[in-house]
Amino acid sequence: MSFAQAQASLDDVVQYVQERKQFGGKPLCDFQGVQIKLAEMKMKVDASRLLLYRAARHADLSPTGLPSVLDSSLAKCFANEIAVEVCSTAMQLMGGYGYSTQFPMERRMRDALGWRIAGGTIDIQKVNIASALIGRRFDQRK
């Protein structure tokens, strides 16, 4: 879900910066600063996609049909952090339209933030990642 929010935000902002004109009729995408932001967003979305594909592929190869805790936690945590970043950058590039409830970007940002909690908080995912790296579970209650 987080990945989908990031990808949809990227798709929307790419269209927007091509249509929106500023400073004498120049499309926003003609400005180097905007181009750099778009490239950074694309790299992050693609990296998120690859982590999700890896978790799914490893699940296909697993006897249980499930991804490892490490693969799933890496993919979920990274996808969510990227979704929040990409949605935030897209909102900024869209200006007032990004914050308006008349357009989907505002809802995407709320959804991306909401997925930081659903299915296991980001901090829990990071504990899962550390546990997999160390090779044991940690008792957080002591």
Q: What is the CATH number of the domain that holds 117?
A: 1.20.140.10
Residue-wise burial string across 71-89, b where 16 or more C-beta atoms lie within 10 A, e elsewhere: bbbbbbbbbbbbbbbbbbb
In a domain, 141, yes or no: no
In a domain, 37, yes or no: yes
| Nearest in space to 91 (alpha carbons), one of 29, 1, 16, 22 | 16
In a domain, 142, yes or no: no
- Full residue range of the structural domain in which residue 49 is found: 2-134
C-alpha atoms less than 13 angstroms from C-alpha of 16 in its C-beta half-sphere: 21
Query: How many domains does the chain fold into?
Result: 1
SS3 142: coil
In a domain, 139, yes or no: no
d(CA 61, CA 72): 14
Does the predicted model carry a pTM greater than 0.75? yes
| Nearest in space to 91 (alpha carbons), one of 100, 80, 81, 82 | 100
Residue-wise pLDDT tens for the chain (142 aa)? 999 999 999 999 999 999 999 888 999 999 999 999 999 999 999 999 999 999 999 999 999 988 899 999 999 999 999 999 999 999 999 998 888 888 899 999 999 999 888 877 888 899 999 999 999 988 878 7
In a domain, 63, yes or no: yes
| Residue carrying the six token digits 């909690």 | 117
d(CA 120, CA 27): 41
Q: What is the pLDDT of residue 6?
A: 97
**How many C-beta atoms lie closer than 10 Å to residue 95's C-beta?**
13
Residue 3 contacts residue 83 (beta carbons within 8 Å): yes
